[in-house]
Amino acid sequence: MKVIFLDIDGVLNSDEYFDKIKKLQIQGIESEIDINKVKLLKRAVDETGAKVVITSSWRHTKKAKELKELLSSYAIYVDSTPFIENKRGLEIKQWLLENQNVENFVILDDEIFDSYDQRLMEKLIKISDGNGHSFGEGLLFKDVNKIIERLGRKKLEEVKEELER
């Protein structure tokens, strides 16, 4: 299994998005999540066959259900890491320990955490330039290309299985 560990703020939204929607009366999850960023994530998932695992603090908020519903409406089904003292690196490692069949993974995040060791740093695709102080530019097409490059495209057998379902 391939996995994309996903942060939300600074990845599925951006400063530009929030500036754009300020004057609009957008309600619900779309007031915080840019659908165009979700579509880019969907492209990465479709190309690689990866599972998405949410690492963001969003997974412990009231918004988690809405977020999962939005992602599932794009056929992006998600899991989430356990909570370990807000130490994202430890949370990712614990999830990997509990899910032994991971062949490869990437981490999409706009921040670098102290709990990221060398192995996790090598898997990080740093999104945005916000560094936790702003949202930056969010997920971009170039980032999707990095995800595909690092995880590889789906194998022909996987595509055949999907077509047979």
| 150 band by pLDDT with thresholds 50, 70 and 90 | very high
| 119 band by pLDDT with thresholds 50, 70 and 90 | very high
Confidence at residue 66, expressed as pLDDT on a 0 to 100 scale? 92
Domain of residue 98, residue span: 2-164
Confidence at residue 160, expressed as pLDDT on a 0 to 100 scale? 55
* Average pLDDT along the chain: 90
Q: Say what the pTM is.
A: 0.90
8 A C-beta contact, residue 74 and residue 39: yes
Average pLDDT over residues 32-44: 96
CATH number at residue 75: 3.40.50.1000
| 28 band by pLDDT with thresholds 50, 70 and 90 | confident
In the predicted structure, residue 116 carries a pLDDT above the cut 70:
yes
Number of domains within the chain: 1
pLDDT tens track for 47-77: 999 999 999 988 888 889 999 999 999 999 9
